Copies of this chain bind each other. A is one copy, B any other.
Amino acid sequence: MTTHPIMPARIRALLFDAYGTLFDVHSIVPSSGHGITGDLEELSQVWRQKQLEITWLRALMERYEDFWSVTEAALRCAVRQLSIDVTGPQINVLMQAYLAPTTFVDVSTALEAFNEIPLAILSNGSPRMLESAVRSNGLESNFTEIISVDRVKTYKPSPKVYALGPEVLRIPVGEILFVSSNSWDAAGAKAFGYQVCLCNRSGKEIDDWGFAPDFVVSRLHQIAKRIQNFAL
């Protein structure tokens, strides 16, 4: 993999996806699923998959409910599908853990490398969830804007969501680098006109959604080098 700068235009801001990119959604069940009997890894996978499906389907149906509500509906869906017995209090503990998810280990180094251009978040999360996740990880000072889809009451990958980036940051979309570990989110951002970095931590085959990212890294701290000549 080359470390040469490869971006076609100056980058004036970085816009990060939150869940799966900065915050490890699969840290929640292992840390907060105490006392639940069943395949907890499968629960975590199905919970996440249902969470995404509900966002896509509700957005398409034009029946938005916020990400907190969707996340709880997805959890209930997952435990039913997997025939896992959970109590009300156990559901509550898992949901509360969503307010303080763990960041991936490469996040703080990656963010500190960009002290000369603004960093922001554009996420499906509700404002309360995002503020809480950022604050509980001490990342408040790293981001100039935390943008929730709640402003437009729909979900990624709707263009209405991606339009919030240039609108809030007041920077042309082609001069913003959008960073996501979700390949479908990266595709949506690319289709909208961002420069796009996909962070593929797992190294697994990347789904081809028809809109390839500009470049791929395996850890977020690799981004700075890739864009240094353009960003600073």
Contact = CB atoms under 8 A, between A and B. Distances in A.
B208 A60 contact: no
Contacts of A155: 60
Contacts of A158: 60-62
Nearest to A206: B80
Oligomer: number of copies = 2
Given A53-B184, A210-B73, A63 B205 contact: no
A156 B75 CA distance: 24
A101 interface: no
A219 interface: no
A191 B56 contact: no
A73 B159 contact: no
B207 A60 contact: no
A157 interface: yes
Contacts of A63: 191, 210-211
A156 B188 CA distance: 18
A215 interface: no
B54 A209 contact: yes
A187 interface: yes
Given A56-B57, A77-B208, 20 more contacts: A53-B56, A56-B56, A57-B157, A57-B184, A57-B188, A58-B210, A60-B60, A60-B156, A60-B158, A60-B188, A61-B159, A61-B187, A61-B191, A62-B158, A63-B211, A73-B208, A77-B207, A80-B208, A81-B207, A83-B205
